[in-house]
Structure 1
Amino acid sequence: MSTKSSSPRYLELDALRGFAVMGILLMNIVGFSMPEMAYVSPAIYGGTDMPDILVWALSFIFVDGKMRGLFTIMFGASLMLIIERAQQNGENPARVHFSRMAWLAIFGLAHFFFLWAGDILFLYAAVGCIAYFLSGLTAEDLFRRALLIFSIGFIGFSVMFGSLLYQQYQASLPGASAAAIENLAQVLADFGSRPGVIAADIALHQSGFAAIFLDKVQNDLFGPIILLAYNLAETLPLMMIGMALYKNGFFTGQWSAADYRRWGVRLTAIGMVILIAIAWGLIHRDFDMLLMLNASYAWTWPSQLLMTIGYAALLIGLIRKCIASLWISRVAAVGQAAFTNYLGTSLLMTFLFYGWGLGLYGSVGRAELYLFVAGAWALMLLWSKPWLNQFRYGPLEWLWRSLARAKLQPMRLL
Structure 2
Amino acid sequence: MTSDGAASPRPISPSDRIDAIDVLRGIALFGVMAINVVMEFRISIFEQFLGARTLASPVDRAVETILTQAVELKAFALFSLLFGAGLAIQFDRLANSERRTFLLLRRLAVLLVFGVTHLCLIWNGDILTEYALAGFIVLPFLFGPRWLLTLAALASLALYLAMQAFPPAGLFPGRTAIWRDVIDANRIYATGGFLDVLAFRLREIPLIASLHAFVFLRTIGLFLVGALAWRSGILQNARGLLVIALPAICLGAALLYVGIEPLGNILLALGYGAAILFIASFGRGKRLLGWAAPLGRMAFTNYVAQSLIFGWIFYGYGLGLFGRLGITQALAIGIAVYVGQVLFSAWWLRHYRYGPIEWLWRTLMYGALQPMLLSRVEGVQ
User: How does the TM-score come out when normalised to structure 2?
Assistant: 0.87
Query: How far apart, CA to CA, are the structure 2 residues paired with 1:5 and 1:99?
Result: 20
Q: How does 1:146-161 map to 2 (within 5 A)?
A: 146-160=153-167
User: Structure 1 residues 6, 215: CA separation in 2 closer, same or farther (over 3 Å shift)?
Assistant: closer
Shift of 1:198: 3.2
Shift of 1:200: 2.2
Query: How far apart, CA to CA, are the structure 2 residues paired with 1:191 and 1:158?
Result: 21
Is 2:17 aligned against 1:16? no
Contact 2:312 2:318 in 1 (8 A): yes
Equivalent residue of 2:148, what SS? helix
Give the aligned residue type for 2:42. S
Q: Could you list the per-position Cα deviations for residues 286-326 of structure 1 after superposition, in whole angstroms to 9, with x for gaps in the alignment?
A: xxxxxxxxxxxxx5210011011111111111111346745
- The number of residues matched between the two structures is 361
1:268 corresponds, among 238, 249, 267, to 249
Is 2:362 aligned against 1:362? no
User: Structure 1 residues 11, 250: CA separation in 2 closer, same or farther (over 3 Å shift)?
Assistant: same
User: Structure 1 residues 353, 6: CA separation in 2 closer, same or farther (over 3 Å shift)?
Assistant: closer
Partner of 1:198: 182
Partner of 1:346: 307
Shift of 1:151: 1.2
Query: How far apart, CA to CA, are the structure 1 residues paired with 2:302 and 2:125?
Result: 15
Is 2:171 aligned against 1:210? no
Shift of 1:74: 0.2
Query: How far apart, CA to CA, are the structure 1 residues paired with 2:18 and 2:266?
Result: 24
Give the aligned residue type for 1:158. A
Query: How far apart, CA to CA, are the structure 1 residues paired with 2:43 and 2:206?
Result: 22
Larger Rg over CA atoms: 1
Equivalent residue of 2:187, what SS? helix
Partner of 1:317: 278
Partner of 2:294: 333
Query: How far apart, CA to CA, are the structure 1 residues paired with 2:156 and 2:41?
Result: 30
Shift of 1:349: 0.9
Shift of 1:224: 7.1
Shift of 1:39: 4.4
Give the aligned residue type for 2:196. A
Shift of 1:158: 1.3
Shift of 1:143: 2.4
Contact 1:46 1:366 in 2 (8 A): no
Contact 1:37 1:45 in 2 (8 A): no
Equivalent residue of 1:367, what SS? helix
Equivalent residue of 2:219, what SS? helix
Give the aligned residue type for 1:200. D
1:110 corresponds, among 98, 114, 117, to 117
Partner of 1:405: 366
Contact 1:61 1:276 in 2 (8 A): no
User: Structure 1 residues 225, 97: CA separation in 2 closer, same or farther (over 3 Å shift)?
Assistant: farther
User: How does the TM-score come out when normalised to structure 1?
Assistant: 0.81
2:340 corresponds, among 379, 394, 398, to 379
Is 2:107 aligned against 1:84? no
Partner of 2:355: 394
Is 2:59 aligned against 1:59? no
Equivalent residue of 1:368, what SS? helix
Contact 1:46 1:52 in 2 (8 A): no
Give the aligned residue type for 1:260. L
